[in-house]
Amino acid sequence: MAVEVAPQSAAPSLRRVRFALAMRSLRENWSLFLGTRIGVIGLAIILFYLVLALSHPILMNTVWDERIYDPVVGYAFDETRQPAPPSRSHLLGTDPLGRDILSQLMHSARSEFLLGLLAAVVTVTIGTTVGAIAAYYGGVVDTILMRFADLMVMMPGISILIVLSALIGVEHFELALIIGILSGFGGASILLKSQALSVVVKPYIEAARAAGGGPAHIIFIHIVPNLLPLSFLYMMFTVTGAIFSEAILSFLGLLDVRMSWGLMIHTTEAAGYLLQVGKYWWLIFPASLSITLLCSSFYLVGRAMDEVINPRLRRL
């Protein structure tokens, strides 16, 4: 009887120990992360834009009149000439079509986050799976997957996106999928495979195999969780890439999106205000700076996480 009871009472305590261990390593990593400073700066910028993105729907429903402040079809009736300079009712002024810049900025922030997140999740899902499979099976499977990854890495990303958007209509969702697939089968799977190779030779993989674990079990239960820190790191860089590509494509007017930061600059360019930087600064700076800041903040967070995760970069 005692033998049967023991595992039942041991299970929760084991879970509690695991939880405590996880919390401790999380706390340690967090303090390491805080020590990098660049990561903190990046995180602060991301939080700022997150607040902007989340408060847009609230503002639209409470303070802002939809006819004036709608980012796409609104018109600032209270201004006599467009683009109007910043004022109390329009903190960042209006664009050449009479739409509120701040509202556009906040509205676009949300779609940038969604785009980045989706692209990153697709990338990492593909990359982790392909990397783990290539490392686990080796041989022919490995060769085929890695040659394919080489091919993907060599693909000129922006150029392929330009050609694709000329061939088919591309929106945010499709764009995120394309970016995710390109970088998932490319750089992500190469990087994660090299990490998976060091996991595959660990004794617990051998033990799992001896205990009768099939390939799927070993890959998804034992290898993939050990790749997660690195893949999370890779996600940050993918987000940067995705937001950047979207901005470039919509700046060139190649995307079928209704509003985005790149499109705001495209509108400015189309209306001919592009080189009047000093006089019409609010048409150019808010959107451009937002793209730059959000891209670099994710990049900085990625760099900081690299310092935490990569043991070879730890301070002695």
Partner 1 sequence: MASYLLSRTIQILLTLFAFICIVFFLVNAQPGDISNVYAMNPELPPDARERLQSQFGLNQPLWQQFLVYVKNVFTGSFGLSFSHYPRSVADVIAERLPRTVALFFTATVFSFYLGFMLGKIIAWKRGGWTEYATTLGGVTLYTVFTPWFALMMIWLFAFKAGWFPIGKFLDPVLWREAPIEANTLFGRMMLTALALSIVVFAVFLATTRLRISGARLIQLGSLVVAVGVMIGIWRATGTGNLAWDIIKHMVLPVLTLTLISFAGTMLLTRNSMLETMREDFVLAARAKGLPEKAVRDKHVARNALLPVVTSLVFSLAFAIDGGVIIESVFSWPGMGQTLVAAAIAEDLPLAVGAFVFVGIFVLLAHLAVDVIYVFLDPRIRY
In the complex, which residues of this chain contact partner 1 (CB under 8 A)? 37-38, 41, 147, 150-151, 153-160, 162-168, 240, 244, 247-248, 251-254, 265, 274-275, 277, 284, 288, 291-292, 295-296, 299-300, 303, 306, 312-313, 315-316
CB of 21 to partner 1, least distance (A): 28
Cα distances from 90 to residues 49, 61, 86, 262, in angstroms, run: 19, 17, 6, 20
CB of 90 to partner 1, least distance (A): 22
CB of 190 to partner 1, least distance (A): 11
Q: Which is nearer to partner 1, 3 or 316 (CB)?
A: 316
Q: Chain-centre distance of CA 38, in angstroms?
A: 18
Q: Which is nearer to partner 1, 200 or 254 (CB)?
A: 254
CB 93 within 8 A of CB 282: yes
Q: Which is nearer to partner 1, 63 or 154 (CB)?
A: 154
Which residue shows structure tokens 């009149």? 65
CB of 133 to partner 1, least distance (A): 20
CB 259 within 8 A of CB 107: yes
Query: Looking at the chain, how many residues does it have?
Result: 316
Q: Which is nearer to partner 1, 152 or 196 (CB)?
A: 152
As a whole number of angstroms, the distance between CA 221 and CA 205 comes to 10
Q: Which is nearer to partner 1, 5 or 167 (CB)?
A: 167
Q: Which helix (H) or strand (E) holds 69?
A: helix 66-69
